[in-house]
Structure 1
Amino acid sequence: MNKPFHGQKLTLLAMSVLAALTMPVYAAEEAVNTRDVVVTATRTEQEIKETPSAVEVITREDLDKIGANNLADALKMATSINVGSPAMAGSDVTVRGMSTRHTLIMVNGKRLVSEGSYSTANSYELERINMENVERIEIVRGPVSSLYGSDALGGVINIITRKPEKEQFTFSLSPQRYTDKSSIGSDNYAMRYDTGKSGKWSWIISADRTETDAYENADNTTKNQFGRRENLNMEGTYDLAGDQYLDVSVNLLREDLNGRSTETSGALRNDDYVNTRDQYSLGFRGKTSNGDYQIRTYYGEHDKTNKGFLLADGSLADFDVSKRKTWTLEGHVSTQIGDRHLLTTGGEYRTEKYRGTRIGTNDKVFDITYGNLTKQGSQADIDYSAFYVQDEWLVNDRLLIIPSVRYDDSNKFSGSASPKVGMTYKMNDHYRLKLNVGKGFKAPTLDDMYMEMTKIMGGMTVHVTGNPDLKPEKSTSYELGIEGEKGATFGKLTYFVNDVTDLISTKTKVSFIPGVGMRADSTYLNEDKADIDGVEFEIGRHLSDKITLKMNYTYLDATGTSGQRLEGRAKQQGTVQLHYDDSKENGISAVLWNEWKKDYLYSSSSKINKTYALWNISVNKKWNDNFSSYVGVENIFNKKDIELNLLGAILQAGMTFKL
């Protein structure tokens, strides 16, 4: 429900953000060159052993070892994360059983301007984010709304890019092919130029291109979107002297993709997806005698044009266009108070405008024509503001307590407070007890509130109507874990609960219309809830100085309003990983891993459960300081399941040159 956006709140926001220019901060949100430290869980540098949150770090070495090209590749061995590939809808990622749209994906702590609908939020980002310029990926499992607000209901995935080191040019290529369809796969090309420090400036310029082939069905439709995707990234730092820095970034995405499907009449149709995204960022950070500070602003535009052509005669069957614009101003500071407290305060102001043919607000109405088709569109916009505070209280040498709370407000929905408290208790030198209790929320998107879409999907006419009276989804979470290491063995056991209310879902009515065919009419409602409980178990042992065995396991009990299991989740899942690294300057590293799922609920209406296991291997060889290569096989034993989009074994190879 709409309400006035209070001027005094904007004033307080501006004051809290501008405070970043005058108050000292304990640590800036940037890459840290050790796998033992994270910045995402608290917005400050903190050892993994100390932070109460359930965190995982995927390092540059990990990415190289498995030959990860994109974010979907990088997450496949992560604990309590399921990466799926629902055919032409990109990829989905569930963290602890929460859906894709409940995961906040960031790059260097910044949100992406992207699709925002109920079914497509985050779905394409896992393939869009290339790993060539990534230093590490930090994952926080469980709600983090107390620091990041909306979208962090399930967790946060923060991709942290490399920082300039020395002048160097890097080029890599990595083809992938299905073993029984050797002409089908993808090719990934990437380059990176690190200028090192040249005068006051240091830059990294990176670019990548992925070309994907069509995987065709027997009827000439395709299981995937195919075509070309390109990224260009420029990130620079200017040394202002006195431990003060100016950060600049430009990130450009271009996609020209296609997918073939079937019209209601049975005619073949080719959909052309042309997407562009431009993002710009400017930030200021610096250090003082007892800390550092940061303030930044970033802007993004995302344009999509989707045209559908009948293959028989090339005529235009349908089209849609959209343009999203977001602008964000944010800052945070952390002040050391005595020996026992580190106080972090921050604020954020964000705007979003969405103009397109799938919005039905009757605001700024426009007509657009392609070929012989004319469509009407309109515009929607939303403003957000937020304030948060966090205290890292070192009670004594054994006990750390971190309370935090964030208040989010908007001109489209009522304000929401998200409190959280975390605790780490050192039982002895080897074992730690960790506890988290908090609340989270997920605001309805402009798509959820104002969508007006009619589209042919799978031979059916689908009509989706938004709901402007939607309320934010809310959650209450509890988490208790014990972790430790002794000798060559390390492990962690965590029990978690996440109860979600006012969950947004769709109410659908299917009917047959003479002359048209089957039609599904859907609208969004706050009528569902979810109770998601589970246990995570991680254990590993260094078998020698070269070989490490790891295992992670998750048991998940995810149910909805009437106690039914939620689709797209496995009751049990995990990985078993055998890592080898000879630790030589020009050496070999390898990983053999099994990823498995038991009772994966593919369809609740048909009560279809899937149980399967995939074996994978990757071997990386560093030949000298300037050349390395890898080979690998994903899904070694050629497991196929059309419903899960498992299409068989994939042979992967790659090489990297440095000049």
Structure 2
Amino acid sequence: MLSLLCAQAHAQAVPLRPAAAPQVAALQPVVVTATAGERNLADVPASVSVVQGAALRERPVLDLADALRGTEGINIQSAGLGRRAISIRGMDAAHTLFLVDGKRISASSSGISHSDYELGWVPTEAIERVEVVRGPLSSLYGSEALGGVVNVITRTATDEWQGSLSSYYVKPAHDTGGAQFKTGLYAGGPLVKDVLGLSVWGEYLRRNALEDGSNPGLSLLDRNVARSGNAALSWTPDGRQRIDVTAGAGNEERDGVRGTTAASYESDDTVRRRHYSAAYRGDWSWGSSDVKLYRSTLYRENWRSDGGTATGPNRFVDTVADASLKLVPWAGHTLTLGGTARREKLEDPTVNRAGRLSMQHYAALLQDEWRLNRQWELVLGGRLDWHEEFGREASPRAYVLYHFNDALTFKGGIGKGFKAPTLKQLSPEYESRAAMGGRGIIRGNPDLQPETAVSFEAGLDYDGGGWNANAMVFQNDVKNLIETQRAASCDIKGLTCLYYQNVAKARIRGLELGGGVDLPWQMRLDANYMWLDPKNRETGETLADRPRHSGGATLAWSPLPAWTARLRAEIVGRQYNSGSTPRTERPGYALLSLYADYAINRYLTLQAGVENLGDRRLAAEDATSYSLADEGRRYYLGMNARF
């Protein structure tokens, strides 16, 4: 009973090919993010990729950026200071919503420049799978789900105790730093059979700083030491009801050397994450009910060795109450009705004179999954959000599925997404003097409206058993993008005043291709490709930091039941550099990595590999041409124990 209800709550599924699982399991049978309920992948009204947690534990994965590299429709962008951000279909990284088990997490990028702290909430050992929905889902999840949603599904307790322990060490070939060590533990099982289950996990990671090859003594990648832990109780009082209570914490220390070679200083960040949640699910004769109460907190404090002005401290708090009902009022119709209340709070000395600001959000949603017959299905939905500052925002969505047969499906839909302005952007008292090298002052604007996008997609999915393929065209029309605009005059002598304004428009269209095939000699090939045409509709220029061509591939080979080898490729095409005047293009590049696993027995697997076989160090050797730093060729040893 416990395992059955766990599956209903998290829609877990067993990997189809555990011995040679590619990074993206295109044949994953069940996903939950696209409709807030369980759906077979062939019937999902959206473009979805699923990355299996088991596949992530077969290679070095520092955070979600590593986990999703090479995934269809995903580009890894630079967030500055060597940090990374996730872009879906060429949309801004800020237009990606991050969830853990369907619950939103605090996005540090909304208030801290060059931050990536939202990428490290869940240890790799605790991940069952990661679902990536490409395209807007504000009709279900509200703000930030403008470009897509990344939902991390965690492992839960089953009817028998089981666990795993994974560790790896990465040694770069160069003596400029960047070595990594990481170990994680998961255990879960029943405390009271069929009634009470417990899951616990923890992780420790350490990455050494990577030295800037062009500026000796400075850091391209920070030194990073992080510890995290989590405990979850699952109570099933009977076969129809389930209650989950979860608490987790993480502490992280980052330090790097900034400035110039002649005038450098050490910058240290202390980051603390906390999250708490309680969830209830009931399955009834008339449908199902879900209630979630949760809070996530992220605290960050900065210190500088030169006595300069440190940024922060910053504290982000998201408190959410969420409830939904699933009903089947008529044959062929599945209705979802839901409501959300959210309080967003920021403590920051720059946000206003009081150093703290909060906003209330409320929302109601309705979705109808209408199966017209065996071939046709129409999904209609919409969400109405109310924000105490800018008012109402509606997010409708319509999607159609047509099954030509059991293997071939047409998918197409249109939807609207939005992103609310951040608390800093909306605050009339917010001031930042970091612009224009200290010569500019940025101020908030309480009259800002949400950034919005209307997105369309259409394509085909084919699953022929031994091989599968998909093709999808899409277009995102984005408006009201928030940028800083120079004021005609400034009330502070010697400075330039800039205000946030809704000014920019963009049109991003593209093509996605993906597929996989079982080959002779126990081999399998999975590959994907994305072509992008991103345009600034105000200037007609191509948007920067978006490669026109990108893709990934994995060739897996299992010559013996105990042996698996994988060759992974990540290809990133040419793209314009956002930091250059006049505009210049960054060259494209390809990264190849080789991994091998050997299962000594059913409980212990040894792993080894070489990442970045071609030794492309990118910004570590040419910061002018590249925005992302790489340690270059590096050697990997790891192990995974199951018990």
Moved more, 174-183 or 489-498: 174-183
Partner of 1:83 in structure 2? 76
Output the amino acid matched with 1:33. A
Q: Could you tell me how far apart the structure 1 residues matched to 2:36 and 2:114 are?
A: 24
Output the amino acid matched with 2:447. D
Superposed counterparts of 1:28-427, under 5 Å = 29-34=9-14, 35-86=28-79, 88=81, 90-117=83-110, 120=113, 123-165=116-158, 166-181=160-175, 184-199=178-193, 200-217=195-212, 218-262=215-259, 267-289=263-285, 291-310=287-306, 315=307, 317-360=309-352, 362=353, 365=354, 378-427=355-404
3-state secondary structure, aligned to 2:313: strand
Partner of 2:467 in structure 1? 489
Shift of 1:625: 2.4
Q: Could you tell me how far apart the structure 2 residues matched to 1:259 and 1:110 are?
A: 32
Partner of 2:19 in structure 1? none
Q: Could you tell me how far apart the structure 1 residues matched to 2:409 and 2:311 are?
A: 56
Q: Could you tell me how far apart the structure 2 residues matched to 1:461 and 1:219 are?
A: 28
Partner of 1:431 in structure 2? 408
Deviations 1:327-385 (A, max 9, x none): 1000111112333111111111000121211212x3xx2xxxxxxxxxxxx22110001
Q: Which protein has the bigger strand share?
A: 1
Q: Could you tell me how far apart the structure 1 residues matched to 2:547 and 2:111 are?
A: 21
Q: Could you tell me how far apart the structure 2 residues matched to 1:449 and 1:652 are?
A: 46
Change (3 A) 1:550 1:184: closer
3-state secondary structure, aligned to 1:147: helix
Residue of 577, 600, 603 corresponding to 1:623: 600
Change (3 A) 1:189 1:307: same
3-state secondary structure, aligned to 1:43: coil
Residue of 466, 469, 475 corresponding to 2:447: 469
Partner of 2:23 in structure 1? none
Partner of 1:18 in structure 2? none
3-state secondary structure, aligned to 1:65: coil
Deviations 1:148-191 (A, max 9, x none): 11100000010000011232453322112211128531211212
Residue of 586, 589, 599 corresponding to 2:564: 589
Change (3 A) 1:549 1:387: same
Change (3 A) 1:600 1:142: same
Deviations 1:435-468 (A, max 9, x none): 1111111111112223745466997666432222
Shift of 1:592: 0.7
Partner of 1:531 in structure 2? 507
Contact preservation (8 Å) 2:135, 2:148 = yes
Q: Could you tell me how far apart the structure 2 residues matched to 1:482 and 1:65 are?
A: 31
Output the amino acid matched with 1:590. A
Output the amino acid matched with 2:573. K
Shift of 1:135: 0.4
Q: Does 1:575 align with 2:552?
A: yes
Change (3 A) 1:183 1:214: closer
Contact preservation (8 Å) 1:537, 1:553 = yes
Output the amino acid matched with 1:559. K
Give ranges in structure 1 of 5+ residues lacking alignment: 1-24, 366-377
Shift of 1:535: 0.5
Change (3 A) 1:133 1:458: farther
Residue of 632, 640, 643 corresponding to 1:656: 640
Shift of 1:95: 0.3
Deviations 1:133-158 (A, max 9, x none): 10011110000111111100000010
Contact preservation (8 Å) 2:177, 2:210 = no
Q: Could you tell me how far apart the structure 2 residues matched to 1:418 and 1:343 are?
A: 17
Shift of 1:633: 2.0
Shift of 1:299: 1.4
Shift of 1:243: 2.2
Q: Could you tell me how far apart the structure 2 residues matched to 1:76 and 1:569 are?
A: 15
Q: Does 1:601 align with 2:576?
A: yes
Change (3 A) 1:224 1:487: closer
Change (3 A) 1:190 1:494: same
Shift of 1:100: 1.0
Q: Could you tell me how far apart the structure 2 residues matched to 1:575 and 1:396 are?
A: 37
Change (3 A) 1:151 1:120: farther
Q: Could you tell me how far apart the structure 2 residues matched to 1:410 and 1:86 are?
A: 28
Q: Could you tell me how far apart the structure 1 residues matched to 2:187 and 2:436 are?
A: 44
Give ranges in structure 2 of 5+ residues lacking alignment: 15-27, 620-625
Change (3 A) 1:169 1:552: closer
Deviations 1:269-299 (A, max 9, x none): 1111111121100111122235432101001
3-state secondary structure, aligned to 2:607: strand
Q: Could you tell me how far apart the structure 2 residues matched to 1:224 and 1:87 are?
A: 10
Deviations 1:77-135 (A, max 9, x none): 21010123455252111100011110001100011123142774873322453211100
How high is the sequence identity, in percent, across the aligned residues? Answer: 28
Change (3 A) 1:171 1:283: same
Shift of 1:69: 4.2
